[in-house]
Amino acid sequence: MFGIGMGEFLGLVVLGLFLVGPDKLPNAARDFARFLHKVRNFTSYASKELKENLGPGFEDLDVTDLTPKNLAKKVIGSAMDDVKGEVKPVVGEIKRQSKDIKEVAKIDPDLL
């Protein structure tokens, strides 16, 4: 649940007891649970609306793909995949031209 362990959960309960008090803690926990429920419903509704408004082809859209970090990874990864196929022929051509230049640029030792 939210990536916290049992010890952390107990620490939060003890902190809640000190901040809110033992008599108001159940109401505060209930209010917090309602707030989390509302946030969860809002995010699921917003992602559903986003998928519907984007139109066909975006039914399998994962909203977490729209974060800047994941979007950058996706764009850079696809760009690198496109470049990989184009780099090998260029490298081969440069090596061939380099070999040709070395042969042409040889200096006759008798001229020195």
Q: What is the pLDDT of residues 18-54, one digit of tens each?
A: 888 888 888 888 998 999 999 999 988 988 888 788 7
Structure tokens at 95: 């090596």
Residue 88: how many other CB atoms lie within 10 Å: 9
**Packed helices 6-20 and 25-54: angle between N→C axes, nearest 10 degrees:** 120
Q: What is the pLDDT of residue 39?
A: 93
Q: How far is Cα 10 from Cα 5, in angstroms, rounded to an integer?
A: 9
Give the DSSP letter of residue 67. Answer: S
**Domain spans of the chain?**
1-61, 67-105
Q: Which long-range contacts (CB under 8 A, 24 or more apart) does 78-87 make?
A: none
Q: What is the pLDDT of residues 72-82, one digit of tens each?
A: 777 777 766 66
